[in-house]
Amino acid sequence: MQIKNLNELELFDGDIPIRFHNNEFNRSYLTHPEIDPYLVYIVLKDTFKIAPKLNEDEEKIQWTWCFKYQDFYIEIYDWRLYSSSIGVYHTGNDNDKSQKLGDEICKLLNKAGQQKKSIKAAKAKFSKHRILENPFKTYYKIAENLIAGYGIMNKLAISRLELPFDKSDIWEQQSALYQSAFLMFLSSFEGFLNILYELYLKRELRNDRLYERISREQIDVKLRIAPIYCDGFKTKVINHEEEL
């Protein structure tokens, strides 16, 4: 079995019947193209002349194409727009054949994507938009995960299970998790302030020297002077005696 062209894939509009079995995810093989997910997107769109499925959880997956090839089902999708994946499902659960098919599709996508690089470069050159990473959300999520980790460790400590370490060690690790979570929450707030300055710093103050000086300020100072340096505030300064 060898697929020589992406056109050999048959578009599939439906639920993959073997995706879940006994409430378990039974994907036979998973691989990742080396090229940018945007190139994967335009290759598939140009090849099949049809828009992909849009996903409900756009924060994780924004687009998905589903295909059928003989007795295989294939999903090609992005992950947070940072990477893309090829998932292969086989009705006979043949992992070797699934791997071979997935790798062949991956090679075809990589090859076709290389030919589309000029399109991406041209769009980037004339783009008027840019991506702003959200450190507030990143650090806040890390803090939440640390606290969730505390809950898991607490259940372990209470349980009667045999553990490979002393239960006294768990309490120290729990304390470390809370301290780390506190620092992440603090970092998330500083990230929020950095986004605020990035978006709303007054136009006449936008120069590298001033921006670097502001970025080095302590969090409380950066918060208090935000109305002075940024547009959009009703007050001229934030009162340092308030609870905030």
Could you give the number of structural domains in the chain?
Answer: 2
Interval 48-95: pLDDT, tens: 988 787 766 767 888 999 999 999 999 999 988 889 999 999 988 788
Same domain for 156 and 96: no
Q: Is 223 a member of any domain?
A: yes
Q: Is 1 a member of any domain?
A: no
Mean pLDDT, residues 90-109 = 91
Same domain for 27 and 104: yes
Same domain for 207 and 100: no
Same domain for 26 and 89: yes
CATH number, domain with residue 19? 3.30.310
Q: Is 241 a member of any domain?
A: no
Q: Among 125, 148, 173, where does a domain finish?
A: 125
Q: Is 237 a member of any domain?
A: no
Q: Residue 45: which pLDDT band, with cuts at 50, 70 and 90?
A: very high
Mean pLDDT, residues 210-232 = 88
Same domain for 158 and 50: no
Distance (Å, rounded) from C-alpha 201 to C-alpha 215? 12
* pLDDT confidence of residue 16: 85
Same domain for 115 and 49: yes
- The whole domain housing 86 covers 6-125
Bridge partner residues of 54 (DSSP): 63
Same domain for 115 and 18: yes
**7 pLDDT higher than 90:** yes
Distance (Å, rounded) from C-alpha 186 to C-alpha 204? 30
Q: Is 188 a member of any domain?
A: yes
Q: Residue 136: which pLDDT band, with cuts at 50, 70 and 90?
A: very high
Q: Residue 103: which pLDDT band, with cuts at 50, 70 and 90?
A: very high
Same domain for 28 and 119: yes
Judge whether 226 and 196 are in contact, CB under 8 Å.
yes
* pLDDT confidence of residue 211: 82
Same domain for 52 and 114: yes
Interval 107-134: pLDDT, tens: 999 999 998 888 888 888 888 887 788 9
Same domain for 109 and 15: yes
Same domain for 121 and 141: no
Q: Residue 158: which pLDDT band, with cuts at 50, 70 and 90?
A: low
Q: Which of 187, 197, 191, 154 is nearest to 173 (CA)?
A: 154
Judge whether 31 and 102 are in contact, CB under 8 Å.
yes
Same domain for 119 and 20: yes
Mean pLDDT, residues 184-206 = 92
**47 pLDDT higher than 90:** yes
Q: Among 85, 105, 125, where does a domain finish?
A: 125
Q: Is 239 a member of any domain?
A: no
CA dihedral 189, 190, 193, 198 (to 10 degrees): -130
Q: Among 82, 98, 125, where does a domain finish?
A: 125
Q: Residue 142: which pLDDT band, with cuts at 50, 70 and 90?
A: very high
Q: What is the mean pLDDT of the chain?
A: 85
**Residue found by looking up tokens 């992950």 in the block:** 79
Mean pLDDT, residues 207-226 = 87
